[in-house]
């Protein structure tokens, strides 16, 4: 936590000349460019402020797993073969694939849940190897999300969690969920869902065990199925909280977490520093500094919920 806001104390990076060499950035993403537009645009905006203009001195090679985590290895190897100068990743599976594909091409994590806990970086201060980037603080905010959900559902007693346990990140999140619910006198129910066809049965299982709230994890699978998940919550009248605004934008009830566009924007500075000669191993992994609470009023109406005024006044954005 000592690294919170560290970038604010670093000297401003030198802006590149417009006639500099053409840099090739590989982007290893969880979803398509269309679904990931806000984040990708934030990355490009950050790079433009530093003098990198797409089509002039910058080329992107965007590869998306399209919600299928098993594709990351193939996509990462393709980026290495295309001889990109740097790879930008999001999420643990994408990072694992990129790290396995290359130990020499620099990798910048635009957002990842627990970098030290996954064994990719040594420490936040000195990541080592060819990887650095930004933490999305996903696991650490698990307890806070449950508290926010209880504000929406005051009688909340059993919390279901929609986690893809095939992603190693969710082991820590499930443990954190159990600790948080126990401390609040609640019960936790794990819904381990890894395929789209498992979503509907999972909601039926939650109803069978009388879950009255849902925490939806964020990863390649849930991002690709965010519209379906939001619709299922309305159909099953199950209030859910998410880690990212992108779920609320398609009809989800509420989200609390970091601003992902802000992380992507800040990732541009790390990319620039590496292009200017810094080693990823010497660039500390940075923590998020911008958080957002986003509420979908229409979704609340569809669930028959009355949102408390105390929550509405704290919201950074209200949709619907």
List the CATH number of the domain containing 95: 3.40.50.2300
* Number of domains comprising the chain: 2
Alpha helices in 36-82 (DSSP H): 37-49, 72-81
Per residue in 109-122, pLDDT (tens digit) is 998 876 555 567 77
In this structure, are 121 and 234 located in the same domain? Answer: no
3 state SS of 267: helix
In this structure, are 69 and 185 located in the same domain? Answer: no
Beta strand pairing status for 23-29 and 86-90?
parallel
Per residue in 145-157, pLDDT (tens digit) is 999 999 999 999 9
Residues with Cβ within 8 Å of residue 198, at least 6 apart in sequence: none
3 state SS of 195: coil
Beta strand pairing status for 58-64 and 158-163?
unpaired
3 state SS of 292: strand
In this structure, are 72 and 195 located in the same domain? Answer: no
Residue 46 in any domain: the answer is yes
Residue 305 in any domain: the answer is yes
Range of the domain at 17: 6-137+259-290
The rounded distance, in Å, linking the Cα atoms of 205 and 22 is 53
Predicted structure pTM score = 0.88
Query: In Å, how far from its chain's centre is CA 300?
Result: 24
In this structure, are 15 and 162 located in the same domain? Answer: no
In this structure, are 242 and 111 located in the same domain? Answer: no
In this structure, are 208 and 236 located in the same domain? Answer: yes
In this structure, are 213 and 195 located in the same domain? Answer: yes
In this structure, are 179 and 306 located in the same domain? Answer: yes
Residue 158 in any domain: the answer is yes
Q: Which of 236, 155, 225 shows the shortest CA–CA distance to 194?
A: 225
Q: Which of 251, 258, 205, 255 shows the shortest CA–CA distance to 229?
A: 251
In this structure, are 133 and 46 located in the same domain? Answer: yes
109 close to 90: Cβ distance less than 8 angstroms? yes
Residues with Cβ within 8 Å of residue 303, at least 6 apart in sequence: 233, 234, 237, 238, 239, 253
Q: Which of 279, 276, 270, 315 shows the shortest CA–CA distance to 297?
A: 315
Q: Which residue ranges of the chain lie beneath pLDDT 70?
A: 1-20, 114-119
- Please give the pLDDT value at position 154: 94
Q: Taking phi first (over 0 means left), then psi (-120 to 50 degrees means alpha), and beta for anything else, what does residue 119 get?
A: left
Residue 252 in any domain: the answer is yes
Residue 198 in any domain: the answer is yes
The rounded distance, in Å, linking the Cα atoms of 86 and 278 is 13
In this structure, are 179 and 123 located in the same domain? Answer: no
- Please give the pLDDT value at position 320: 84
Residue 200 in any domain: the answer is yes
Residue 1 in any domain: the answer is no
- Residue 232: CB atoms within 10 A of its CB come to 20
Q: At what angle do helices 260-275 and 37-49 cross, to 10 degrees?
A: 40
In this structure, are 154 and 133 located in the same domain? Answer: no
In this structure, are 17 and 95 located in the same domain? Answer: yes
């Amino acid at each position: 936590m000592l690294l919170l806001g560290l970038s604010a104390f670093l000297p401003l990076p030198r802006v590149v000349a417009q006639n500099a060499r053409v840099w090739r950035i590989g982007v290893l993403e969880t979803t398509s460019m269309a679904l990931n537009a806000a984040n990708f645009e934030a990355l490009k905006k950050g790079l433009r402020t530093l003098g990198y203009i797409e089509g002039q001195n910058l080329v992107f090679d965007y590869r998306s797993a399209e919600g299928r985590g098993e594709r990351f290895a193939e996509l990462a190897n393709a980026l290495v073969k295309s001889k990109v100068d740097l790879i930008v990743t999001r999420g643990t599976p994408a990072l694992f694939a990129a790290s396995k594909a290359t130990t020499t091409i620099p990798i910048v994590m635009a957002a990842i849940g627990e970098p030290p806990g996954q064994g990719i970086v040594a420490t936040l201060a000195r990541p080592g190897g060819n990887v650095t980037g930004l933490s999305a603080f996903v696991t650490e905010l698990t307890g806070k999300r449950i508290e926010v959900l209880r504000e929406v559902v005051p009688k909340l007693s059993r919390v279901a969690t929609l986690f893809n346990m095939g992603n190693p990140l969710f082991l820590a999140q499930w443990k954190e969920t159990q600790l948080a619910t126990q401390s609040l006198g609640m019960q936790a129910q794990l819904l381990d869902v890894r395929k789209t066809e498992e979503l509907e049965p999972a909601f039926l299982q939650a109803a069978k065990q009388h879950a009255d709230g849902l925490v939806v994890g964020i990863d390649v699978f849930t991002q690709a199925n965010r519209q379906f998940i939001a619709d299922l919550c309305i159909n099953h009248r199950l209030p859910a909280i998410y880690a990212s605004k992108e779920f609320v934008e398609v009809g989800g009830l509420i989200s609390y977490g970091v601003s992902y566009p802000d992380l992507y924007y800040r990732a541009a500075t790390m990319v620039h520093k590496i292009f200017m000669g810094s080693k990823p191993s010497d660039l500390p992994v940075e923590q998020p500094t911008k958080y957002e609470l986003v509420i979908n009023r229409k979704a609340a109406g569809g669930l028959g919920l009355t949102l408390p005024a105390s929550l509405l006044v704290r919201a950074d954005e209200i949709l619907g």
